[in-house]
Amino acid sequence: MKLPFAESYKIKMVESIKKSTYEERQKWIKEANYNLFNLKSSQVFIDLLTDSGTGAMSDKQWSEMMIGDESYAGASSYYKMKDAIKNILGFDYFLPTHQGRAAENVLFSATVNEDDVVPGNTHFDTTKGHIEFRKATAIDCTIDEAFDTSVFHPFKGNIDLSKLENVLKQYPKEKIPFIILTITCNSSGGQPVSMKNIKDVSKLAKKYDVKIIFDSARFAENAYFIKIREEEYKDKSIKEIVKEMFLYSDGMTMSSKKDAIVNMGGFIALRDEDIFKKAAVFNILYEGFITYGGMSGRDMSALAQGLDEGTEFDTLEARINQVYYLGNKLKKYNIPVQEPFGGHAIFIDAKKFLPNINKEEFPAQTLAVELYIEAGIRGVEIGAIMADRDPITRENRYPELELVRLAIPRRTYTKNHMDYIAVAIKNVFDRKDPINKGVKIVDEAPILRHFTVKLERI
Ligand SMILES: *Cc1c(COP(=O)(O)O)cnc(C)c1O
């Protein structure tokens, strides 16, 4: 018999999580204004809100925490991080930041101006927020296949080259600080970008003399998908693929809370010394001196170790297999899920799951609330609430996809947890009384409203 897949790690420390009753959860979610961000973590049994900073560090990362160097300037931890970034990603210049959006804030402060345009594949919410906050425009050039959850395409994060070229033709290059390529593309469902597409985008960028920045939170997962889906890369190691991917970029922003498997941290890495120097000024202003930028020494040391572990095939295989195990279970239960499954999460198509709820009543948020009440599982809406209002008309924006994301933290939950999640979703799906009332907004922030929005059931 073929041996089944098993993780190449064992567990050395455990943390208790609390179960609750259906009645308790009904009360708690009401008190939280039907916003899952407002729940206490003690009110959640399985937390799939995000895979950001929620992973389990390894024994080696924890030992790096103990030997971290907390010197203000020139700490050895900084140099460990610098070496890891040079050796694994290939960049000479880097700035530590406290997380990914801080990297965006610093880099965009140095490069993005009013009326600029930043084309890319579906920009992540904080990325878009930082662009729009500077009165610039994010232009989505993702391939159309990305927006149909039932179509199979191996690289749904890809850029549509003709959409991109139209933007590059339409605007003078001075108005385009860079193209941003998100690998994997979080907002379109953790979907990868192929090496071929990366190369083609790079060719176009060269032709129009525009830079490319990779939004790289899940770059290692992207490399894994290239290895298993792009024939000519099947015999290459993840580290070789990673090196090659970044050859086509001028720089990157990183949320290390994802593929560097730390609880907090981020960085900017760059090839160009001039941009580095400009960004360094903002780093000192917003984050801290350039050799720590908002991170403790111990966190930089753990990050360096995490970058190495996160780009090992075994780490990625265990992670992505777990996500796919859950996805395949849901499919067996006929739950409408986005395919192919993302690297870090399973996305439920809420419009198909709750066909009776119209878009003005936020089907994905409604479903996330129901799933919490059913089983204490916390997912997150990736839909109209997250999309914010149009910055000019102030009308609600209704993206094509209304999704509930179930993000799986790295090395944290077991196969039994995946089985529990799948059955909980099936139970909501099979309910005798169909869910036909959604939610409405009673209070919201002007930007990034999904974090603090207050809702009522209709
Ligand atoms: C998480 C994420 C960010 C923002 O990083 P934070 O560490 O949460 O600030 C930016 N882009 C992508 C693609 C991400 O997944």
pLDDT of residue 150: 74
- Residue owning the nearest CA to atom 10 of ligand 1: 100
Q: What are the φ and ψ backbone dihedral angles of 313, each rounded to 5 degrees?
A: -55, -45
One CATH from 3.40.50.10260, 3.40.50.10580, 3.40.640.10, 3.30.360.10 for 59-310 = 3.40.640.10
Q: What is the whole-number distance in angstroms between the Cα of residue 101 and the centre of ligand 1?
A: 6
Alpha carbon distances (Å) from 198 to 10, 137, 160, 222, 233? 36, 22, 11, 11, 14
Q: What is the whole-number distance in angstroms between the Cα of residue 60 and the centre of ligand 1?
A: 25
Pocket test for ligand 1, best of 131, 186, 287 (most atoms within 8 A of CB): 186
One CATH from 3.40.350.10, 3.90.1150.10, 3.40.50.720, 3.40.50.620 for 22-51+313-457 = 3.90.1150.10
Q: What is the whole-number distance in angstroms between the Cα of residue 61 and the centre of ligand 1?
A: 21
pTM exceeds 0.75:
yes
Query: How many other C-beta atoms lie within 10 A of the C-beta of residue 194?
Result: 19
Q: What is the whole-number distance in angstroms between the Cα of residue 100 and the centre of ligand 1?
A: 5
Task: Report which of 244, 212, 213, 215 is spatially closest to residue 227, judged by C-alpha positions.
Answer: 244
Tens digit of each residue's pLDDT, the chain (458 residues): 999 999 999 999 999 999 999 999 999 999 999 999 999 999 999 999 999 999 999 999 999 999 999 999 999 999 999 999 999 999 999 999 999 999 999 999 999 999 999 999 999 989 999 999 999 999 999 999 988 877 889 999 999 999 999 999 999 999 999 999 999 997 777 899 999 999 999 999 999 999 999 999 999 999 999 999 999 999 999 999 999 999 999 999 999 999 999 999 999 999 999 999 999 999 999 999 999 999 999 999 999 999 999 999 999 999 999 999 999 999 999 999 988 998 999 999 999 999 999 999 999 999 999 999 999 999 999 999 998 898 889 999 999 889 999 999 999 999 999 999 999 999 999 987 888 899 999 999 998 899 999 999 99
Ligand 1 atom closest to 255 (CA): 7
Ligand 1 atom closest to 185 (CA): 13
Query: How many other C-beta atoms lie within 10 A of the C-beta of residue 437?
Result: 11
Beta strand spans in 304-420 (E): 345-349, 377-378, 380-382, 403-407
Q: For the chain, what are the domain ranges?
A: 22-51+313-457, 59-310
- Residue owning the nearest CA to atom 1 of ligand 1: 255
- Residue owning the nearest CA to atom 8 of ligand 1: 100
Ligand 1 site residues (CB inside 6 A) read: 52, 99-101, 124, 126-127, 182, 186, 215, 217, 255, 257-258, 266
Ligand 1 atom closest to 216 (CA): 13
pLDDT tens-digit map of 160-205: 999 999 999 999 999 999 999 999 997 777 899 999 999 999 999 9
pLDDT of residue 435: 87
- Residue owning the nearest CA to atom 7 of ligand 1: 100
Ligand 1 atom closest to 53 (CA): 7
Asked if 345 and 190 count as a contact pair (C-beta separation under 8 A), the reply is yes
Beta carbons within 8 Å of 184's beta carbon, 6+ residues apart:
157, 190, 191, 192, 193, 218, 219, 221, 222, 225, 342, 343, 344
Ligand 1 atom closest to 266 (CA): 7
Task: Report which of 270, 408, 247, 395 is spatially closest to residue 327, judged by C-alpha positions.
Answer: 408
pLDDT of residue 409: 98
Asked if 156 and 146 count as a contact pair (C-beta separation under 8 A), the reply is yes
- Residue owning the nearest CA to atom 4 of ligand 1: 100
DSSP string, 229-243: HSGGGTTS-HHHHHH
Please identify every residue annotated as catalytic.
72, 124-125, 215, 217, 258, 450
pLDDT of residue 339: 87
Query: 381 in helix, strand or coil?
Result: strand
Q: Rounded to an integer, what distance in angstroms lies between the CA atom of residue 99 and that of residue 122?
A: 20
Q: What is the whole-number distance in angstroms between the Cα of residue 391 and the centre of ligand 1?
A: 21
Task: Report which of 84, 39, 45, 457 is spatially closest to residue 301, judged by C-alpha positions.
Answer: 84
Between CA 254 and CA 261, with CA 255 as vertex, the angle to 5 degrees is 115
Q: What is the whole-number distance in angstroms between the Cα of residue 182 and the centre of ligand 1?
A: 10
Block residue for tokens 């999704």:
403
Asked if 268 and 94 count as a contact pair (C-beta separation under 8 A), the reply is yes
Beta carbons within 8 Å of 289's beta carbon, 6+ residues apart:
72, 73
